[in-house]
Amino acid sequence: MADTVNEGNPTFSPEDIADIVSRGLVGESRDGTRKLHRRMLYPSADREFRDMPLDAKLEDDPKVNGMTIFVDVPEYVISKASLLHVGYTKAKAEELWQRWCNWPKTGPDREVDPAAVSSGLGASGTTDSDTITAIMDPYFENIRRTNTSAYWALDTLEMRYAGIEGIQRESGPFGSSGHPNTTSFLHAPADPGKINTQLASRNTSSHTMFFKATSRGQVEGLFKENGTVGRPSTLVSHTWSGDFNCFRSVFRFLPDLAVAELYAVYAKTRAGCEEIVAISMLVPNKAIDDLQPPDIAHLYWPNPDWASLVWNSRCREHTPQNLQHYCEAILIIGHIATHPDHVYKAKDSPANITENDVLHIGGSDCPTKAVQYVFTCDDNSWQWLRDNGL
């Protein structure tokens, strides 16, 4: 059976293939993939991997600091190779591909996104060992414990697939002068713990900077070509993955660059060759100070309301009446909960939540409780964000 649906969804344009083949920057087709030089992966890759020589020979399997210079990229966006690329085992990829290619002529139309067939991801036998190793990296245990392994597996799949689509979108302007420069992005560093002091210094007494770590492909369309915000909805967090959601979609930002960078490096570890970014938003302190209850709420441990709202949100329970005013707030500022949802579901009530359920960042000698800024996705919040940050 063919490994691609058709020849109408190539990752690379014919013009790009001719150009980068002639420059020795991509290999021949093999098993539905091509080996591509890392400096050709995405707009900032030429800078990120500048220590990797462009004249490296593919046949030598060259490496720099233990990292391969050439990486496998699926030739077609819709293909079995893409399923393998995002993290499925060979057996699961073959099963999904068989279902895809033999879709019934009657009944619901099949989706055109392989990420739609994500049920069971994270279960035994569906996620490949390299992906599991990246997700379970002990360095990021405190971040990983904030959700389930299945959640992180699905997030990894979505990032990787968005990365393939990103290469397809960029195909055409390959080359050192062809990539647009998006200065609104802070690119995740290769080494954990390295802080971008230049960006951090933009915090002033009159403004606060918020951050969100994600893959560039997952926020495609956020910025227009002129650099202004186009689709802020790409920043919306999953409704089922937060602490203060109240069955709503929310914008979730981190005020601490070190915490955001830890999330970004964890994403980079899982994503592989995809572009990981931390998006920054500069907000006037006065705009936050001018918010008054019920438009703003502060929720920190050991306030019992923090435990109650976290427990109800994580357990998918309806928010009780005494907590409804939090659901009406434009902005909730509070501690981040650790542990995946099933841990909270196993607790009989919020009374069983302790300080150990708060995400702590830093060494054991001096850990700090991580803080988040959560904005609701209603009209008032949209307008406030557009007026003051986005």
Q: What is the DSSP string of 314-361?
A: HTTPPPPGGGHHHHT-SEEEEEPB-S-HHHHHTSSSGGG--GGGB-EE
In this predicted model, which residue has the larger pLDDT, 158 or 4?
Answer: 158
23-61 pLDDT tens trace: 999 999 898 999 999 999 888 888 889 999 999 999 998
Percent of the chain residues topping a pLDDT of 90: 24
pLDDT over threshold 90, residue 1: no
Provide the phi-psi class of 101: left if phi over 0, else alpha when psi is between -120 and 50, else beta.
alpha
- The backbone torsions φ and ψ at residue 342, rounded to the nearest 5 degrees and listed phi first, read -65, -25
Give the contacts of 366 (CB within 8 A, at least 6 positions apart): none
Distance, first Cα to last Cα, the chain: 48
pLDDT at 242 (0 to 100)? 78
Does pLDDT of 112 surpass 80? no
Q: What is the mean pLDDT of residues 12-31?
A: 89
Question: Tell me, what's the pLDDT at 200?
Answer: 44
Tell me the angle at which helices 149-170 and 257-271 cross, rounded to the nearest 10 degrees: 80
Question: Which of 2-6, 241-245, 299-303 has the highest average model confidence (pLDDT)?
Answer: 299-303
Average pLDDT over residues 209-228: 83
Cis ω on the peptide bond leading into residue 138 (within 30° of 0)?
A: no
Please provide the average confidence, as pLDDT, over all residues in the chain.
80
Average pLDDT, stretch 208-223?
85
pLDDT band at 204 (very low <50, low <70, confident <90, very high): low
Amino acid at 191: D
Output the pLDDT for position 296: 94
The verdict on pTM exceeding 0.85 is: no
- Convert the pLDDT of each residue in 238-255 to its tens digit: 655 578 876 677 888 999
Tell how far CA 360 is from the center of its chain.
Answer: 21
**The pLDDT of residue 56:** 93
d(CA 114, CA 157): 10
| pLDDT, average across residues 110-136 | 62
The kind and range of the H/E element at 245 are none
pLDDT bucket at 113, cuts 50 / 70 / 90 = very low
